[in-house]
Chain A
Amino acid sequence: MSEVAESLASRLAELSGTGRVRTDPKSLAAYEVDGRAPSAALLPGSVSEVAEILRFASAERLAVIPIGGRTHMDIGMPPQRYDLALDVSAMKQVLAYEPRDLTLGVEPGITYAELDRSLRKEGQFLPLAPSFAERATLGGIVAAAADTPLRYAHGTAKDLLLGIEFVTGEGVISKSGGRVVKNVTGYDLHKLLIGSLGTLAVITRLNFRTFPLPPGRRMFVAAFADLSGALTLGRAIMKSPLQLRVVDLVNPRAAGLFTAYSGSILGRDSWLAVVEAAGHEKVLERHARDLASLSQDAQATEFVALDEDHRERLFGCLCDFSPIAFGATPAATVFRIAAIFSAIPALLEDTRKLAECHALDCAILIRALSVVYIALLPPANPEVYPELASCSRKLMTLCVKSGVAPMIERCPLEIKNALGIWPPPGTEREITQRLKHVFDPHCILSPGRFRGGI
């Protein structure tokens, strides 16, 4: 270790406690972000330690990236600077849980799976089911605005987060929101932190509303010969009074990846509509009847209700779409595109033509009929990167022109560097930069990772 690094380690050990500082290369490799490792990793145990560290980092102008379960670190541009990894995984307490109020307060480092197990004991759940649930932390899920198949019924973190405590880039401890299910007191600063990728503050506490587990649930899969059948069912569901918790559509290539990942579910050559209802038996029966009928009207080739084992596996695949695509080929480039329903057919037709033109395969997931995931799947061969970059650039341009909201969630570093992952900033650019300055005036938090170069 160099003299500078030793001095840094010693000062950091004072701030974070001996044993909670990592400076050896092997440990630091685990904290790499886009191939860049920090000089040190710190594991604070409390909000005051986080504040101390950030005050020190701010004074020394050290760049800090907050890190949880490291499951969504692919999202964002490569950091411009990266000195310290602030690993919050040691902060994993449930701080308050009142089941009868359906509210919860947790530290950021608790994993979704661990929290879910606690909540289930009380017959409740937090509908944020992310990818890599065993490792994804609540702080990371919120900071990355991680998606979930349950959004069709429950929305996203924006709809579930009641309040937050955080530490700014200057080491100031602050909070917004509250702990009750309804609250409009003060400015909703916590809304800004959702999806901010740690560029504004480090989250140290999150308050959520929880939900009772439904008395029963049933997942159905309808298979279609083509996209139009699946979309016809989607449109019919939107117009129906049915109350579904999952409505995801997957293309044949994605269905194939799911099969390879977790065993056979349905035919590989079909578009699949995966829908789930919840409630009492009478409610499930009603949904089964209506969905079968709507699927038939939409020319489904098959309609089945899944047993619990298949349901679990398919639900896991839906959560893990992006990592599954990335697992299929490390060169996968996964777009996350928010789109109104009527824009989806043209978007997918244009994507099909583009991918065909560049000889790329496409796995597609349409999440909750409102967010389209497109994974461009080239062979794992650096020679294809120019082709992949060209296709990705055209897709990004096409999305921006057609009014849908794209970003690249995962891609090879070469593509990130060549193309960027964000659409160009719009009229909000200046106000966004001013807000960044308010929270992090010295630009020490995740510098360069966010939209607009923030």
Chain B
Amino acid sequence: MSGTPACYPAPKIYCKQEVVEIVRLANRYDLSIVGRGAGTGLSGGALARQGGIVLAFSRMNHILEIDAENQRALVEPGVVNLDLSRATEKYGLYFAPDPSSQKSCTIGGNVSENSGGPHTLAYGVTSNHVTGLELVLPDATVVQVGGRNMETPGYDLAGLVIGSEGTFALVTEITVRLLRLPEEVRTLLAIYESLEDATDSVVDITARGIIPAACEMLDGWTLRAVEAYVHAGFPLDSAAVLLMEVEGVREAAETQADEIIEVCRRHKAREVRRARDARERALLWKGRKEAFGAVGRVSPSYYVLDGVIPRTKLTPTLLRVEEISKHCGLVIGNIFHAGDGNLHPLILFDHRDPAQFRRARAAGEEIMQLCVEMGGTLTGEHGVGMEKNELMPLMFTETDLDLMRKVRAAFNPVGRLNPGKVLPLGKGCGETRLQPFPLSAGGNL
């Protein structure tokens, strides 16, 4: 995705004081500011839509403290997600949110977008794992919200700021909660002849009281694209695979894995494989986490969608997505967090063909409308950004949006931070009204 070039080169900042100084400068010269972590977001959150200053946090990347006894870490916003889990592994701890981009995305970016990942089915998204934030507000004041403790008397400002996509404040320090690494992890791959059998298995697994740590689905087209690239061992002739993980104490992981295998077989799984060792497990996950890259090899461009539906609506929704694919004449692959109904349809197109571009965008909008009709939402983890801000009225009334605008104004009264994101652009508000440009080439922004 590309955006309006920033008016000023992105300053790489090293400390909070520099952030404060730049905010003061921005106020003096009336410039907008966009915070940026690694720029891996998929809704355009880190793009300077209206120019101004892009504040790159990539050098503010220090893990300031690991407090193993209390299972906390204090980090700067530019710390890469996976680096934190690697640094805390020796204490038997890790940071639970694990977006597919975790090798490069930053904790600050995770806070902005309230990022998820495959394991959020069991462990929740970023807001469930952050206890405190240090903020620089658009008037250059520094505010602490939350702290190391699990709760703070007063309004949950940290909970509000997480997921506000950089439109409320710039985050300069983050206190995260670390989880204990599980004793046992069992990774399963269930292979199906029909997509419906796979989705029925997902519903039945949770209905039986099993909440896997992760439950991912790849449809036939996608798994073939992935297999050609990653060689994870996905069977090329199947209609869908479920990649599932259960973890915890050995006895619980064993029992749950057995139960899941039984459910999958009952729903006509052709085969259920167990990863035999860490290498096999890593390979299966590589297949999942590098899937977007694999798709990039077979199509000049693709559009990654992110919508959520109730998991019981998986089958009818996927059938409708198939219909949309047919009538728009574009391949749509499906790879998603099935356990929590978080879809990621991938619409393949050639960005050099304006007609295909238009059809891809229309198909994306249709799928988003479908998610909302099914009782779901516009985004489960990628954020609204500038991709879906004009779709917000599908979920929210003008009254709802007006209150959100007022809440944003309580932090960011003149719209200096990340303008043109999250909320629909109001008529005559002075912000440049751009068409949403949600199309991704290669899966990286």
| Interface 9-residue window, one of A209-217, A253-261, A351-359 | A209-217
Does B436 sit within 8 A of A, measured CB to CB?
Answer: no
Q: How far is the CB of B255 from chain A (nearest CB, A)?
A: 5
| A435:B384 contact, CB within 8 angstroms | no
| A187:B163 contact, CB within 8 angstroms | yes
| A241:B180 contact, CB within 8 angstroms | yes
Q: How far is the CB of B58 from chain A (nearest CB, A)?
A: 23
Does B410 sit within 8 A of A, measured CB to CB?
Answer: yes
| A185:B378 contact, CB within 8 angstroms | yes
CB-defined contacts of A279 to chain B, threshold 8 Å: 251-252, 255
Bitwise, B164-202 to A at CB < 8 A (1) or not (0) is: 100000000000000011111000000000000000000
A452 to B125 Cα, complex, angstroms: 30
CB-defined contacts of B154 to chain A, threshold 8 Å: 195, 422, 425, 428, 432, 450-452
A404 to B141 Cα, complex, angstroms: 24
A403 to B148 Cα, complex, angstroms: 9
- Nearest CB to that of B142 among chain A residues? A427
CB-defined contacts of B147 to chain A, threshold 8 Å: 403, 405
Does B207 sit within 8 A of A, measured CB to CB?
Answer: yes
| A283:B403 contact, CB within 8 angstroms | no
Bitwise, A179-211 to B at CB < 8 A (1) or not (0) is: 111111111110110111000100000000001
| A145:B151 contact, CB within 8 angstroms | yes
Measured as residues with beta carbon below 8 angstroms from the partner, the interface class of chain B is 35 or more
| B152:A405 contact, CB within 8 angstroms | yes
Partner of A187, one of B155, B207, B254, B404: B404
CB-defined contacts of B245 to chain A, threshold 8 Å: none
Does A61 sit within 8 A of B, measured CB to CB?
Answer: no
Does B430 sit within 8 A of A, measured CB to CB?
Answer: no
| A187:B153 contact, CB within 8 angstroms | no
A241 to B248 Cα, complex, angstroms: 7
| A184:B380 contact, CB within 8 angstroms | yes
| A185:B150 contact, CB within 8 angstroms | no
Does B399 sit within 8 A of A, measured CB to CB?
Answer: yes
Does A438 sit within 8 A of B, measured CB to CB?
Answer: yes
Bitwise, B122-140 to A at CB < 8 A (1) or not (0) is: 0011011000000001000
| B157:A428 contact, CB within 8 angstroms | yes
- Which residues of B324-341 are within 8 A (CB) of A? 337, 340-341
A450 to B274 Cα, complex, angstroms: 53
Q: How far is the CB of A179 from chain B (nearest CB, A)?
A: 6
| A188:B163 contact, CB within 8 angstroms | yes
12 A-B pairs (CB sep. < 8 Å): A159-B124, A178-B377, A184-B380, A186-B384, A186-B396, A212-B208, A241-B180, A370-B150, A426-B144, A428-B157, A435-B155, A451-B154
16 further contact pairs, Cβ within 8 A, besides A98-B310, A174-B403, A214-B209: A158-B156, A174-B397, A179-B376, A183-B379, A184-B381, A184-B384, A185-B384, A187-B164, A189-B403, A191-B127, A194-B156, A241-B249, A338-B151, A342-B70, A422-B153, A438-B406
A-B CB proximity, top 8 nearest: A212-B209, A191-B159, A241-B183, A338-B149, A434-B410, A340-B70, A407-B153, A182-B380
